[in-house]
Amino acid sequence: MPITAVTGSASGIGAALCAQLREAGHTVIGIDRANADINADLATAEGRQLVIEQVLAKSAGTLDHLVLCAGVGVTAPSCGLILAVNYFAVSSLLDGLAEALGNGHEASAVVVGSVASVQPGVDKHPIIAQMLDGDEAGALAAIDDIKEPSLAYAGSKLAVSILVRRKVREWAKRGVRLNVVAPGVVETPLYKASTEDARYGEATRNFVAPLGRGSQPDELANVIRFLLSDQASFMHGTVVFADGGMDAMMRPERF
Ligand code: NAI
């Protein structure tokens, strides 16, 4: 049965996914700050290294699937933390676990992005290039100066999507598929905290998709499980929006 590592396993989408995967017979390695098989802080270089070492030890260097779901939203204590967890931890774990995935059976990985990545103007912001250049200290200092959590969040999710798409050739050579799922509203603690935020609460509550509702974590877990599976054997480097029609509504001519 497949060995699957999942970050953000203690809550929301990651917890729903782990439950589905265990039900389907996967050996799941859950990773989170607490209440996980591997407890570590992905905001720090030490925490990321610990995760990589422990995943390699628990999987004996052969990993079939990786899902990078851990993330923080606009209510995070600092903008730098948003970039550290949502972008730099993802970049580090993809690099650190690529070889183990290359040893896996019909291996694949999924990164959880966001429909926030299509927020107008974010693609032009210099913070995107700074992240993609791997300049963590510089990017964190710059975004903390700007003090715009929604830019930090949208930027982190755009950068991580570009990062994945840039890896298609390298990862195809390893025989590992890599895709992004971009959710819209998912009713999790992260979303609930955003609806109660003094600065962004009203806009978050008004962010309603054409389907007229938010989604449940299991609905996103279904999409991630599909992308991990052989059913998606020709999907690679794709950003799959699972957002109730939000992306199509905001920019129908782009896809
Ligand atoms: P959640 O808050 O329920 O779960 C996120 C998990 O990530 C938590 O268990 C948390 O402890 C973990 N995490 C956060 N910082 C960490 C760190 N430094 N080290 C280790 N683990 C850490 O949130 P949700 O909604 O399930 O979020 C999952 C992913 O989905 C995130 O990447 C989020 O940005 C993304 N997303 C969520 C949306 C929503 O409406 N809920 C919409 C679009 C994307």
Can you give the CATH number for the domain in which 224 is found? 3.40.50.720
Phi, psi of 131 (to 5 degrees): -65, -50
How distant, in Å, are the alpha carbons of 60, 69, 179 from that of 238?
A: 29, 16, 5
- pLDDT, tens digit, 9 for 90 and up, residues 11-63: 999 999 999 999 999 999 999 999 999 999 999 999 999 999 999 999 999 99
By DSSP bridging, strand 239-242 and strand 65-68 are unpaired
Domain with 197, as residue range(s), is 3-241
Q: Is residue 109, in this structure, part of any structural domain at all?
A: yes
Mean per-residue pLDDT of the chain: 97
Q: Is residue 247, in this structure, part of any structural domain at all?
A: no
- pLDDT, tens digit, 9 for 90 and up, residues 77-104: 999 999 999 999 999 999 999 999 999 9
What residues form DSSP beta bridges with 167?
none
Confidence at residue 226, expressed as pLDDT on a 0 to 100 scale: 98
Judge whether 153 counts as a catalytic residue: yes
Q: Is residue 250, in this structure, part of any structural domain at all?
A: no
> What atom in ligand 1 is closest to the CA of residue 44?
18
SS3 sequence, the chain? CCEEEEECCCCHHHHHHHHHHHHCCCEEEEEECCCCCEECCCCCHHHHHHHHHHHHHHHCCCCCEEEECCCCCCCCCCHHHHHHHHHHHHHHHHHHHHHHHHCCCCCEEEEECCHHHHCCCHHHCHHHHHHHCCCHHHHHHHHHHHCCHHHHHHHHHHHHHHHHHHCHHHHHHHCCEEEEEEECCECCHHHHHHHCCCCCHHHHHCCCCCCCCCECHHHHHHHHHHHHCHHHCCCCCCEEEECCCHHHHHCCCCC
Q: Is residue 52, in this structure, part of any structural domain at all?
A: yes
Q: Is residue 22, in this structure, part of any structural domain at all?
A: yes
**If you measure from the C-alpha of residue 15 to the centroid of ligand 1, how many angstroms do you get, rounded to a whole number?**
10
Whether residue 180 has its Cβ less than 6 Å from ligand 1: no
Query: How sure is the predictor about 145, in pLDDT bands with cuts at 50, 70 and 90?
Result: very high
Structural domain count, the chain: 1
Q: Is residue 223, in this structure, part of any structural domain at all?
A: yes
Confidence at residue 42, expressed as pLDDT on a 0 to 100 scale: 98
CA 145 from chain centre, in angstroms, equals: 24
**If you measure from the C-alpha of residue 71 to the centroid of ligand 1, how many angstroms do you get, rounded to a whole number?**
4
Whether residue 92 has its Cβ less than 6 Å from ligand 1: no
What is the sign of the dihedral through the CA atoms of 226, 1, 233 and 96?
positive
- pLDDT, tens digit, 9 for 90 and up, residues 164-207: 999 999 999 999 999 999 999 999 999 999 999 999 999 999 99
Confidence at residue 227, expressed as pLDDT on a 0 to 100 scale: 98
Percent of the chain at pLDDT exceeding 70: 100
Whether residue 10 has its Cβ less than 6 Å from ligand 1: yes
Give the mean model confidence (pLDDT) for residues 208-214: 97
Q: Is residue 120, in this structure, part of any structural domain at all?
A: yes
Whether residue 186 has its Cβ less than 6 Å from ligand 1: yes
Q: Is residue 246, in this structure, part of any structural domain at all?
A: no
Percent of the chain at pLDDT exceeding 90: 99
Substitution site in 38, 190, 240 for ligand 1 pocket (most atoms within 8 Å of beta carbon): 190
Query: How sure is the predictor about 136, in pLDDT bands with cuts at 50, 70 and 90?
Result: very high
